[in-house]
Amino acid sequence: MNSIQKNTQRLFQDALNRCSEEGLIKGTTPEVPITLPKKPEHGDFATSIALMTAKKAGRPPRELAQMIIDRIQDPEGIIDSIEIAGPGFINIRLSDDVWYRGLETILREGSDFGRGEKRAHPKINIEFVSANPTGPLHVGHGRGAAVGDALARLLRFAGYQVSSEYYLNDAGRQIWNLGQSVYVRALEILREENSPVLKKSPLDIPEFPEDGYRGDYVSDIAQDLLEKKGAEWVVENTDMDNISSFAAARLTDTIRESLEKFNVHFDVWFSEKKLHESGSIKNAVNELRKTSYIYEKDGALWFKSSELGDEKDRVVVRDSGEPTYFASDIAYHADKYGRGFDHLINVWGADHHGYVARMKGAVQALGHSPDSLETLLVQFVTLKRGDEKVSMGKRSGQFVTVDDLLEEVGRDPMRYFFLERRHDSHIDFDIETARSQDPTVNPAVYVQYGHARACSIIRKAEKELVIKKQAFSIELARQLQHEDELRILRRMMDFPVIVEDAAEAREPHRVINYLQDLSRQFQSYYTRTKSDPVLPPPSVRKGDWRKNWDWEKTHARLLWVEAIAIICKSCLDILGLAASTRMARLSE
């Protein structure tokens, strides 16, 4: 709720309370809802309070509505008119000055407009991507990256203290597998080169591991390994530790570079390996042993997750004595709490949803509220080229990588389309649309153009027409008489509400929808007011034109355009999209 909405709400709340004090309403009075009507005819705000409390008042809703209205005290005169509509809705129209004051707020607060109040708690940890460093990032990871990063930005903007984190699974079987894959490829290279190192050695080339990594990048790493460490070093490395580490480190760098290019940053890269080395996993398991949720069966250690909302119990330590991935994850989450976070958000691929319940259970067993762990499941992306689906064979290793897409469609359209929809709905990503530079085709370009256009107007006013910017005054703002100018100003004042709600719901896509709407309204205004433009057109700039031009209106409109630019910029920043102040000319 923004301040205008809050003030309006108070007037109605007070009026309702007066009804109650006079004994017109039985029982407790509910909080008065103030909503934004879909249709402009329904005023600036609407409330259904009369419908909600009609029963308690024992009167028809419309009659009650009138009684509430009669008890409104509005000394500041923020309300222009009130009417009862339909079955008993109260439609409220505010005085234009309220909105003009809003313009002042936007201009004064600038990039802070809409920002939530800073709060110390909850201290939020948001973990996302966390792809194994066993290969390049694919499209699915890309969506998770965009969603997690935008959510982190959104939460920060909304005032939360947020740390973003990548959990690096740089230990365990998959990493061993990776090392073995690289090792075999390296030996194959040596064989092909008829390397003397290999001939001297009696060892045969081992089979390529069945669930090994078959992508071309494995050979690249093998090649690199041979160059950096030398053939002998490689051949003599029979336990995979060194080679695995080399390969994982290499792939971690690759992943980090891809994410940087994608404008995704992490505050912390958290290593699973270090969790093993530091004894954290043992500690976490011991911690669990103190609870009643642990038991032994068939030589393994089990977690009684079935008592904490999961379908069945889960193994924590195998009969071999080796901890499972779940054990690492318990230790990891314990570590997050240990570092002072009181709210954890995990952004996971939808294929991990079977994992959510046991993780919540573990968190609970460790003594934290299960509500303090939130998991967002990001659905899959289908790639398309026009009508044609781009096939992605999972087994063959022939998947489309984040780098491929970055190269073909570019960073901003990619982020835009990954963020445009709710995280839990499937999306079709059309490469052809995304790579288009035409704003009428590509909504990602369209919203950037909206911002650039606003900036262009201001730049032109200052540089080309040498118009000196005027300070805000209510008299000046009253020059904004065009219906669209007021409507768009009202829409601008929604921004703080959009931010608050989007952050609360963990839904960055709401910011995109809002930005899309604001840009569209602005560009529509812009084209339709061609005969009454913000800036004096060349056709009038003749002779003594400066004396005849309506400067007050232009000054007011320039402030208004500036406010639009401010809000577009804030939206783009939250989404991690570039906010160019001018668009590159399209050549043909």
What span, in angstroms and rounded, lies between the C-alpha atoms of 149 and 156? Answer: 11
Among candidate residues 39, 400, 343, the one with its CA nearest the CA of residue 162: 343
User: Whose Cβ is closer to RNA: residue 229's or residue 487's?
Assistant: 487
- Of 341, 446, 472, 560, the one binding RNA (CB under 7 A) is 446
Q: Which of residues 165-224 bind RNA (CB under 7 A)?
A: 169, 172-174
Contact 61, 78 (CB under 8 A): no
First to last CA, the chain: 45
Binding segment for RNA among 71-79, 188-196, 232-240, 510-518 (CB under 7 A)? Answer: 510-518
Is 28 near RNA (CB under 7 A)?
Answer: no
Compute the least distance from the CB of residue 149 to RNA, in Å: 18
Cβ atoms of 147 and 512 within 8 Å: the answer is no
Closest by alpha carbon to 154, among 577, 536, 488, 544?
577
26 binds RNA (CB under 7 A): no
Q: Is 297 in the site for RNA (CB under 7 A)?
A: yes
CB of 120 to RNA, least distance (A): 22
Shortest approach of RNA to residue 464 CB, angstroms? 8
Q: Which is nearer to RNA, 224 or 374 (CB)?
A: 374
From the list 193, 438, 475, 550, which residue makes contact with RNA (rule: CB under 7 A)?
Answer: 438
Helix orientation angle between 402-409 and 411-419, rounded to the nearest 10 degrees: 110
Report how far Cα 270 is from the mean position of its chain's Cα atoms: 21
When asked if residue 46 is in the footprint of RNA (CB under 7 A), the reply is: yes
Judge whether 529 and 483 are in contact, CB under 8 Å.
Answer: no
* Least spacing, CB of residue 229 vs RNA, in Å: 25
CA distance 106 to 408: 38
What is the C-alpha separation between 429 and 390, in angstroms, rounded? Answer: 10
Cβ-based nearer residue to RNA, 267 or 351: 351
Residue 536 vs 576, nearer CB to RNA? 536
How far apart are the C-alpha atoms of 16 and 383, rounded to whole Å? Answer: 54
Distance in angstroms (rounded) separating the CA atoms of residues 265 and 152:
10
Total chain residues near RNA (CB under 7 A): 97
Alpha-carbon separation of residue 39 from 46, 88, 91, 359, 487 (angstroms): 10, 16, 11, 45, 11
Asked whether position 546 contacts RNA by CB under 7 A, the answer is no
Cβ proximity to RNA: between 189 and 373 the closer is: 373
495 binds RNA (CB under 7 A): no
List 253, 257, 307, 311, residue binding RNA (CB under 7 A): 311
Q: How far is the CB of 340 from RNA (least distance, A)?
A: 26
**244 with 213: CB under 8 angstroms?**
no
Nearer to RNA, 55 or 108 (CB): 55
Q: Does 246 bind RNA (CB under 7 A)?
A: no
For residue 323, report the phi and psi dihedrals to the nearest 5 degrees: -70, 150
CB of 584 to RNA, least distance (A): 5
Could you say whether residue 42 binds RNA (CB under 7 A)?
A: yes
Comparing CB distances to RNA, the nearer of 242 and 523 is 523
As measured in angstroms, the least distance from the Cβ of 236 to RNA is 27
**Using rule CB under 7 A, residue 479 touches RNA:** no
Q: Which residues in 60-99 contact RNA (CB under 7 A)?
A: 61, 85-87, 89, 91
**CB 124 to RNA: min, Å:** 16
How many CB atoms neighbour CB 77 within 10 A? 10
Between 187 and 431, whose beta carbon lies closer to RNA? 431
Residue with tokens 């080395």: 277
3-state helix, strand and coil shares in percent for the chain, rounded to the nearest 5: 55, 15, 35
One of 315, 392, 406, 579 touching RNA (CB under 7 A): 315
Residue of 69, 78, 197, 441 interacting with RNA (CB under 7 A): 441
| Residue 459 engages RNA in binding (rule: CB under 7 A) | no
CB of 560 to RNA, least distance (A): 11
Binding segment (CB under 7 A) for RNA, from list 41-49, 182-190, 246-254, 542-550:
41-49
Q: How far is the CB of 61 from RNA (least distance, A)?
A: 7
Q: Which is nearer to RNA, 235 or 452 (CB)?
A: 452
Q: Does 29 engage in binding with RNA (CB under 7 A)?
A: no
Choose which of 59, 265, 411, 520 interacts with RNA (CB under 7 A): 520
**Is 400 strand, coil or helix?**
coil
- With CA atoms as reference, report the closest residue to 164 among 133, 128, 140, 119: 128
The vertex-482 CA angle with 476 and 488, nearest 5°, equals 90
- Give the binding range for RNA (CB under 7 A) out of 157-165, 224-232, 362-370, 450-458: 450-458
108 binds RNA (CB under 7 A): no
Q: Radius of gyration (Cα) for the chain, nearest Å? A: 30
Cβ at position 201, least distance to RNA in Å: 31
Is 314 a binder of RNA (CB under 7 A)?
Answer: yes
CB of 522 to RNA, least distance (A): 8
Is residue 35 a contact residue for RNA (CB under 7 A)? Answer: yes
Quote the CA–CA distance of 452 and 444 in Å, as a whole number: 13
Query: How many Cα atoms within 13 Å fall on the side-chain side of residue 30?
Result: 14
Q: Which of residues 326-385 bind RNA (CB under 7 A)?
A: 326, 350-355, 377, 379-380
Tell me the C-alpha distance between 286 and 300, whole Å: 14
DSSP notation for 460-493:
IIIIIS-PPPPPP-HHHHTT--SHHHHHHHHHHT
Q: Does 245 bind RNA (CB under 7 A)?
A: no
